[in-house]
Amino acid sequence: MAGRRGAVVAVASGGRAAVAVATATVLLASVLAGCDDGGVRIESSAGSSSALPSPEASPLPVSPPPSAFRGPPGTKPAPEGPLPSPAPTGARPVYPPDTEGELDVLELLREDPKVGGNVKKALRPCSAEAEVWPVDVSYGRLTDGHAYDVLVNVSDCDGGMGVGSYVYRQSTNGQYVGVFSAEDPPVHAEADGGRLRVSQQVYADGDPVCCPSAREVVVYVWEDERFTEKERVFEAAGAPGEAPSPSQEGRRSDGSGSADGATDADGEDR
């Protein structure tokens, strides 16, 4: 057999019988080596083409890299590298009702060209220890969209005064589009059923921050793809519905007295 070394047999010069016996012994050994019955082990040389194939190794499960995220489903992994200290709770994405995705409200405000620079400056954590941002998010059916509208109020960290109110509507492609903004502080917006109520404090000369002379409430409804003013009420201190004097209506720093601040669906000021 190729590649095997048979037993070395010494042949004496005495005769042919010894040669025949030795030859038969070698043949018998070869036959036994070629059988697999009776527990006889089959050996093959290193270069033999009949060598048995080695079993294929099963692939091992790949361990995730150290940076892999192991959080609950539906959440984003934390960005690699050092995080701000601390990571504010208010900076986490929100999940509007009836939607499958998440919404980063801070990023939405920062990338919105309709949001004023002063409001964007207010988008910072009020306290490193408290982990609180001056952003309040709520939801309501304010437009005829297929999903809930997102209502955002931004305030300053010093006195909690509202500096901006916004409504974002989800379009058919999943993007949120700003359809309302009011940036005349102090301002606050809320959903009242299917209506949008925007409140602004009215200060007379000498009024302390805690005690404005009146409050102006403007009610908007969604018509023709935009918010339309339907009602405007002045609630003077102690006399709801009483309009303040003209000297009390100055709410802008430039003294213009405009309290509308609303934008229509295409972003143009009304």
35-59 confidence digits (pLDDT tens) = 444 443 333 334 444 444 444 433 3
Pick left, alpha or beta for residue 60 (phi over 0 → left; psi -120 to 50 → alpha; otherwise beta): beta
Is residue 212 domain-resident?
Answer: yes
Is residue 63 domain-resident?
Answer: no
pLDDT higher than 50, residue 188: yes
Number of structural domains (the chain) is: 1
Cα 105 to Cα 91: distance, rounded to the nearest angstrom: 8
Is residue 24 domain-resident?
Answer: no
Residue 22 CB neighbour total at 10 angstroms: 15
CA 107, 113, 115, 116 dihedral sign is positive
Of residues 249 and 219, more confidently modeled: 219
Is residue 82 domain-resident?
Answer: no
pLDDT score at 108 = 95
pLDDT score at 97 = 83
pLDDT higher than 80, residue 204: yes
Is residue 233 domain-resident?
Answer: yes
Question: Which residues constitute the domain of residue 176?
Answer: 89-248
Binned at pLDDT 50, 70 and 90, residue 110 comes out as very high
